Structure 1
Amino acid sequence: MEKEKTMKKNDWLLLFVILLTAALIFFIRYFVGDEHPGYVTVRVGGEITETYDLSEDQTVKINEGTNVMKIEDKTVNMIDANCPDKLCVHQKPISKNNESIICLPNNVVVQIVSQDESELDAVTN
Protein backbone atom coordinates (compact mmCIF):
# COMPACT_ATOMS: atom_id res chain seq x y z
CA MET A 1 0.00 0.00 0.00
CA GLU A 2 1.23 3.44 -0.88
CA LYS A 3 1.33 6.01 1.92
CA GLU A 4 -0.13 9.41 1.34
CA LYS A 5 2.48 12.24 1.34
CA THR A 6 0.56 15.16 2.80
CA MET A 7 1.44 17.50 5.59
CA LYS A 8 -0.47 16.92 8.76
CA LYS A 9 -1.66 19.49 11.29
CA ASN A 10 1.46 19.14 13.46
CA ASP A 11 3.74 19.59 10.44
CA TRP A 12 2.04 22.88 9.59
CA LEU A 13 2.29 23.98 13.24
CA LEU A 14 6.02 23.21 13.33
CA LEU A 15 6.58 25.12 10.08
CA PHE A 16 4.65 28.12 11.44
CA VAL A 17 6.69 28.16 14.69
CA ILE A 18 9.98 28.01 12.76
CA LEU A 19 8.96 30.86 10.43
CA LEU A 20 7.69 32.95 13.34
CA THR A 21 10.95 32.45 15.24
CA ALA A 22 13.01 33.42 12.18
CA ALA A 23 10.92 36.56 11.65
CA LEU A 24 11.26 37.53 15.31
CA ILE A 25 15.06 37.14 15.19
CA PHE A 26 15.18 39.22 11.99
CA PHE A 27 13.19 42.09 13.51
CA ILE A 28 15.20 42.09 16.72
CA ARG A 29 18.50 42.04 14.83
CA TYR A 30 17.74 44.75 12.29
CA PHE A 31 15.16 47.04 13.84
CA VAL A 32 16.13 47.27 17.49
CA GLY A 33 19.13 49.59 17.80
CA ASP A 34 21.83 49.70 20.41
CA GLU A 35 21.33 52.06 23.30
CA HIS A 36 24.89 53.26 22.83
CA PRO A 37 26.15 53.24 19.24
CA GLY A 38 29.83 53.42 20.17
CA TYR A 39 32.57 55.96 19.68
CA VAL A 40 35.23 57.16 17.27
CA THR A 41 38.93 57.09 18.05
CA VAL A 42 41.31 59.49 16.34
CA ARG A 43 44.98 58.50 16.09
CA VAL A 44 47.69 60.87 14.98
CA GLY A 45 51.14 59.34 14.63
CA GLY A 46 49.91 56.08 16.14
CA GLU A 47 48.76 57.68 19.40
CA ILE A 48 45.07 58.08 20.31
CA THR A 49 44.54 61.83 20.59
CA GLU A 50 40.75 62.04 20.94
CA THR A 51 37.61 59.94 21.25
CA TYR A 52 34.13 61.14 20.24
CA ASP A 53 30.67 59.75 20.89
CA LEU A 54 28.87 58.57 17.74
CA SER A 55 25.51 59.72 19.07
CA GLU A 56 26.57 63.41 19.10
CA ASP A 57 26.52 65.13 15.70
CA GLN A 58 29.57 67.38 15.35
CA THR A 59 32.34 68.58 13.06
CA VAL A 60 35.88 68.11 14.39
CA LYS A 61 39.24 69.49 13.28
CA ILE A 62 42.00 66.90 13.61
CA ASN A 63 45.75 67.44 13.92
CA GLU A 64 45.55 71.24 14.14
CA GLY A 65 43.18 71.40 11.17
CA THR A 66 44.98 69.18 8.66
CA ASN A 67 41.86 66.99 8.51
CA VAL A 68 38.19 67.70 9.26
CA MET A 69 35.77 64.90 10.10
CA LYS A 70 32.02 65.06 10.48
CA ILE A 71 30.00 62.84 12.83
CA GLU A 72 26.37 62.73 11.73
CA ASP A 73 23.59 60.16 12.18
CA LYS A 74 25.99 57.70 13.85
CA THR A 75 28.35 57.75 10.85
CA VAL A 76 31.76 59.37 10.38
CA ASN A 77 32.99 61.01 7.21
CA MET A 78 36.22 62.86 6.43
CA ILE A 79 35.03 66.06 4.78
CA ASP A 80 38.33 67.91 4.26
CA ALA A 81 42.07 67.28 4.29
CA ASN A 82 45.10 69.28 3.19
CA CYS A 83 46.86 66.26 1.68
CA PRO A 84 47.46 66.27 -2.09
CA ASP A 85 45.51 63.13 -3.07
CA LYS A 86 42.52 63.52 -0.68
CA LEU A 87 41.84 59.76 -0.73
CA CYS A 88 40.52 59.94 2.82
CA VAL A 89 37.92 62.51 1.76
CA HIS A 90 36.69 60.25 -1.05
CA GLN A 91 36.17 57.20 1.21
CA LYS A 92 32.61 56.25 2.09
CA PRO A 93 31.27 57.17 5.55
CA ILE A 94 31.99 54.59 8.24
CA SER A 95 29.60 53.32 10.91
CA LYS A 96 30.43 49.72 11.86
CA ASN A 97 32.91 48.30 14.35
CA ASN A 98 36.58 48.46 13.24
CA GLU A 99 35.88 50.39 10.04
CA SER A 100 38.42 53.15 9.53
CA ILE A 101 39.38 56.13 7.43
CA ILE A 102 43.13 56.57 6.96
CA CYS A 103 45.02 59.64 5.77
CA LEU A 104 48.60 58.47 5.18
CA PRO A 105 50.17 61.86 4.31
CA ASN A 106 48.89 63.40 7.57
CA ASN A 107 49.35 60.15 9.57
CA VAL A 108 45.70 60.23 10.76
CA VAL A 109 43.54 57.16 11.46
CA VAL A 110 39.85 57.49 12.38
CA GLN A 111 38.29 54.24 13.63
CA ILE A 112 34.87 53.15 14.90
CA VAL A 113 34.66 51.18 18.14
CA SER A 114 31.19 49.72 18.77
CA GLN A 115 29.24 46.51 19.30
CA ASP A 116 27.89 46.51 15.72
CA GLU A 117 29.58 44.02 13.46
CA SER A 118 31.17 44.95 10.17
CA GLU A 119 29.37 43.84 7.02
CA LEU A 120 32.38 41.71 6.07
CA ASP A 121 32.07 38.15 7.25
CA ALA A 122 35.47 36.79 6.22
CA VAL A 123 39.01 37.90 5.61
CA THR A 124 40.70 36.99 2.35
CA ASN A 125 44.40 36.86 1.65
Structure 2
Amino acid sequence: MKKNDIILIAITLVVALACFIGTRIWQKSNTDEDAVAVVTIDGDIYGEFPLSEDIVERIEFPDGSFNVLTVSEGYADVTEASCPDQICVHHNHIRYSGESIVCLPNKLVVEVKGGEDNGIDGSTY
Protein backbone atom coordinates (compact mmCIF):
# COMPACT_ATOMS: atom_id res chain seq x y z
CA MET A 1 0.00 0.00 0.00
CA LYS A 2 1.17 3.44 -0.83
CA LYS A 3 0.96 6.46 1.43
CA ASN A 4 -1.84 7.99 -0.69
CA ASP A 5 -3.92 4.80 -0.33
CA ILE A 6 -3.69 5.00 3.45
CA ILE A 7 -4.67 8.68 3.41
CA LEU A 8 -7.66 7.92 1.16
CA ILE A 9 -8.81 5.09 3.45
CA ALA A 10 -8.43 7.31 6.52
CA ILE A 11 -10.45 10.12 4.93
CA THR A 12 -13.17 7.66 3.88
CA LEU A 13 -13.39 6.27 7.43
CA VAL A 14 -13.58 9.77 8.95
CA VAL A 15 -16.38 10.78 6.55
CA ALA A 16 -18.30 7.56 7.26
CA LEU A 17 -17.94 8.07 11.02
CA ALA A 18 -19.08 11.70 10.72
CA CYS A 19 -22.16 10.60 8.74
CA PHE A 20 -22.99 7.94 11.33
CA ILE A 21 -22.63 10.34 14.26
CA GLY A 22 -24.61 13.04 12.44
CA THR A 23 -27.45 10.61 11.77
CA ARG A 24 -27.56 9.54 15.41
CA ILE A 25 -27.64 13.14 16.62
CA TRP A 26 -30.41 13.96 14.14
CA GLN A 27 -32.46 10.94 15.26
CA LYS A 28 -32.11 11.85 18.91
CA SER A 29 -33.16 15.44 18.23
CA ASN A 30 -36.29 14.16 16.46
CA THR A 31 -37.52 12.13 19.42
CA ASP A 32 -40.61 13.49 21.06
CA GLU A 33 -42.03 12.69 24.47
CA ASP A 34 -45.51 12.88 22.94
CA ALA A 35 -44.72 10.31 20.23
CA VAL A 36 -47.38 7.70 19.57
CA ALA A 37 -47.53 4.40 17.72
CA VAL A 38 -50.40 4.68 15.24
CA VAL A 39 -51.83 1.31 14.21
CA THR A 40 -53.75 1.11 10.95
CA ILE A 41 -55.47 -1.96 9.56
CA ASP A 42 -56.29 -1.96 5.86
CA GLY A 43 -55.95 1.84 5.86
CA ASP A 44 -58.28 2.45 8.83
CA ILE A 45 -56.87 3.70 12.13
CA TYR A 46 -57.19 1.00 14.80
CA GLY A 47 -55.65 2.99 17.64
CA GLU A 48 -52.91 5.29 18.89
CA PHE A 49 -50.64 4.12 21.69
CA PRO A 50 -48.31 6.56 23.50
CA LEU A 51 -44.69 5.42 23.54
CA SER A 52 -44.39 6.82 27.06
CA GLU A 53 -46.67 4.08 28.45
CA ASP A 54 -46.13 0.32 28.71
CA ILE A 55 -48.86 -1.43 26.72
CA VAL A 56 -49.44 -4.92 25.33
CA GLU A 57 -52.28 -4.96 22.79
CA ARG A 58 -53.50 -8.12 21.05
CA ILE A 59 -55.04 -7.14 17.73
CA GLU A 60 -57.39 -9.83 16.42
CA PHE A 61 -58.82 -10.03 12.92
CA PRO A 62 -62.14 -11.54 11.75
CA ASP A 63 -60.37 -14.46 10.04
CA GLY A 64 -58.78 -15.54 13.36
CA SER A 65 -55.32 -14.10 12.68
CA PHE A 66 -53.68 -11.75 15.16
CA ASN A 67 -50.75 -9.46 15.93
CA VAL A 68 -49.46 -8.49 19.37
CA LEU A 69 -48.18 -4.92 19.71
CA THR A 70 -45.88 -4.26 22.66
CA VAL A 71 -45.01 -0.71 23.68
CA SER A 72 -42.41 -0.34 26.42
CA GLU A 73 -39.52 1.95 27.37
CA GLY A 74 -40.30 4.30 24.48
CA TYR A 75 -40.23 1.58 21.80
CA ALA A 76 -42.98 -0.12 19.79
CA ASP A 77 -42.61 -3.68 18.56
CA VAL A 78 -44.73 -6.47 17.09
CA THR A 79 -43.85 -9.38 19.38
CA GLU A 80 -46.24 -12.06 18.07
CA ALA A 81 -48.15 -12.65 14.86
CA SER A 82 -50.07 -15.42 13.17
CA CYS A 83 -48.72 -14.61 9.70
CA PRO A 84 -46.57 -17.30 8.08
CA ASP A 85 -43.47 -15.25 7.26
CA GLN A 86 -43.08 -13.46 10.65
CA ILE A 87 -41.29 -10.49 9.03
CA CYS A 88 -43.13 -8.05 11.30
CA VAL A 89 -41.99 -9.99 14.38
CA HIS A 90 -38.35 -10.07 13.28
CA HIS A 91 -38.33 -6.34 12.48
CA ASN A 92 -36.42 -4.18 14.96
CA HIS A 93 -38.39 -2.12 17.44
CA ILE A 94 -39.26 1.43 16.39
CA ARG A 95 -39.19 4.72 18.31
CA TYR A 96 -38.41 7.60 15.93
CA SER A 97 -41.02 9.57 14.03
CA GLY A 98 -41.55 8.12 10.56
CA GLU A 99 -40.38 4.58 11.36
CA SER A 100 -42.84 1.78 10.69
CA ILE A 101 -43.46 -1.95 10.97
CA VAL A 102 -45.65 -3.58 8.32
CA CYS A 103 -47.44 -6.94 8.36
CA LEU A 104 -48.66 -7.48 4.80
CA PRO A 105 -50.70 -10.68 5.35
CA ASN A 106 -52.76 -8.95 8.06
CA LYS A 107 -52.67 -5.50 6.36
CA LEU A 108 -51.34 -3.99 9.60
CA VAL A 109 -49.08 -0.94 9.77
CA VAL A 110 -47.52 0.41 12.97
CA GLU A 111 -46.01 3.87 12.48
CA VAL A 112 -44.45 6.25 14.97
CA LYS A 113 -45.75 9.79 14.74
CA GLY A 114 -44.45 12.70 16.80
CA GLY A 115 -46.42 14.99 19.05
CA GLU A 116 -47.12 18.57 18.10
CA ASP A 117 -45.63 19.90 14.89
CA ASN A 118 -43.15 22.67 15.60
CA GLY A 119 -43.71 24.15 12.13
CA ILE A 120 -40.04 23.99 11.13
CA ASP A 121 -39.10 21.53 8.42
CA GLY A 122 -35.49 22.65 8.25
CA SER A 123 -33.22 25.63 8.54
CA THR A 124 -30.21 26.95 6.70
CA TYR A 125 -27.50 29.39 7.64
Common topology (TM > 0.5): yes
TM-score (norm 2): 0.62
Larger Rg: 1
* Dislocated runs of 4+, deviation >4 Å: 29-35
The separation in 2 between residues aligned to 1:42 and 1:71, in whole angstroms, is 12
Aligned position for 2:59: 62
- Percent identity among equivalent residues? 31
Structure 2, gaps ≥5 residues long:
1-25, 116-125
Query: Does structure 1 residue 98 correspond to structure 2 residue 98?
Result: yes
| Cα deviations by residue, 1:35-68 (Å, 9 ceiling, x for unpaired) | 7241110000111111111100111112346100
Note closer, same or farther for the CA distance 1:34–1:112 as it changes in structure 2 (3 Å cut): closer
Query: Does structure 1 residue 87 correspond to structure 2 residue 96?
Result: no
Q: CA RMSD in A?
A: 2.6
Structure 1 SS opposite 2:83? coil
Higher relative contact order (CA 8 A, sep 6+): 2
Structure 1, gaps ≥5 residues long:
1-28, 116-125
Note closer, same or farther for the CA distance 1:84–1:52 as it changes in structure 2 (3 Å cut): same
Q: Aligned residues, how many?
A: 88
Q: Which amino acid aligns with 1:60?
A: E
